[in-house]
Amino acid sequence: MIQRDILIGIDIGGTFTDAIVADRTTREVLLAFKVPSTPADPSIAVVSALERIAARQSIVGCQVCHG
């Protein structure tokens, strides 16, 4: 697993929560996807997105931006 300087962006919407992972050095988009939003508790969708990302690469020490 390559350790990169990554930035995670998460945007909670009414139907879907969008997630994007980008390499801060190369500006390459590494991953982009949607998970179903959870209006009763939006944090569930955020954690779901982070777990999906963490299954593919380390997120230790990365910056997360929320919109």
pLDDT for residue 2: 57
pLDDT by residue for the chain (67 residues), tens only, comes to 556 789 999 999 999 999 999 999 999 999 999 999 999 999 999 999 999 999 998 899 899 999 8
Question: The whole model's pTM is what?
Answer: 0.88
3-state secondary structure 6-44: EEEEEEECCCEEEEEEEECCCCCEEEEEEEECCCCCHHH
Query: CA angle at residue 57 from 51 to 58, to 5 degrees?
Result: 85
pLDDT for residue 42: 96
pLDDT for residue 49: 98
